[in-house]
């Protein structure tokens, strides 16, 4: 099995276990990203084959399109207000179940949805586990476009290396569902994530960032051999 196939198998294993936590009548936060896409596919299968009755709130336009594709009924968060569970992936998970999210540029909506859920279940493959946040991934920071230069300067003052995220198949920056830009701030392994969390939120022009502190209630870590390790807060 190629390395790419190993990672995909691990993601799918975690996603299927996460989808199994959803029961009839639940209101479900539908996260964004490749791992969560497997969970949405599994929820769609259960709706078709098992008659599972749920309603989901997508965290992005891409999650909404997948929900539609897999036949998952949806409603906006302002209608549901509270959720039973939110399912989402992560780019990094530390031993305290703190996260870095946002490679899909949806972390602001994901954070809002996760906060309204009784349980926030994170599904990852084992490559996403780190001793300290920032070890592998930058911190995505969502910014007002006119403030991008100012925010980059402030990130540099905090010891980070900022880089405006550019589109892969389009000219110009990545634009979020809110019409904002993303600055990826690379700090290396972060010594004090709580202090960095507050410092980034305090920069004028920042909408939110991809550090999720104390929010995940469960993390399902999938491996290609079919094993799924569960960590709970």
What are the CA-CA distances from residue 155 to residues 136, 161, 187 (Å)? 18, 7, 9
- Dihedral of the alpha carbons of 30, 34, 39, 41, in degrees to the nearest 10: 100
Q: Angle at CA 106, nearest 5°, toward 165 and 120?
A: 140
The catalytic residue among 110, 142, 152, 154 is 110
Classify 176 as helix, strand or coil.
Answer: coil
The Cα 205–Cα 184 span in angstroms is 15
* Burial readout 6-16 (b: 16 or more C-beta within 10 A, e: otherwise): bbbbbbbbbbb
The Cα 187–Cα 60 span in angstroms is 27
The Cα 135–Cα 92 span in angstroms is 8
Active site residue 110: yes
Find residue 232's DSSP bridge partners.
218
Classify 173 as helix, strand or coil.
Answer: strand
The Cα 92–Cα 139 span in angstroms is 10
**Which residue numbers are catalytic?**
110
């Amino acid at each position: 099995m190629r390395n790419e196939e190993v990672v995909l198998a691990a993601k799918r294993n975690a996603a299927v276990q996460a989808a199994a936590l959803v029961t009839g009548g639940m209101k479900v936060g539908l996260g964004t990203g490749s791992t969560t896409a497997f969970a949405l596919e599994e929820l769609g299968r259960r709706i078709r084959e098992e008659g599972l009755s749920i309603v989901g709130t997508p965290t992005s336009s891409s999650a909404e399109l997948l929900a539609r594709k897999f036949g998952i009924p949806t409603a906006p968060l302002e209608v549901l207000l509270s959720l039973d569970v939110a399912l989402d992936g992560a780019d990094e998970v530390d031993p305290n179940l703190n996260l870095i999210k946002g490679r899909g540029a949806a972390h602001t909506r994901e954070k809002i949805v996760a906060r309204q859920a009784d349980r926030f279940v994170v599904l990852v493959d084992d490559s996403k586990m780190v001793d300290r946040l920032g070890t592998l991934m930058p911190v995505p920071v969502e910014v007002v476009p006119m403030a991008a230069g100012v925010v980059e300067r402030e990130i540099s003052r905090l010891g980070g290396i900022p880089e405006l995220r550019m589109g892969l198949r389009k000219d110009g920056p990545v634009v979020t569902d809110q019409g904002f830009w993303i600055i990826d701030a690379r700090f290396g392994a972060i010594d004090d994530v709580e202090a960095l969390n507050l410092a980034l939120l305090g920069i004028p022009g920042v909408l939110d960032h991809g550090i999720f502190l104390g929010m995940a209630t469960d993390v399902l870590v999938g491996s290609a051999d079919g094993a799924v390790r569960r960590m709970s807060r």
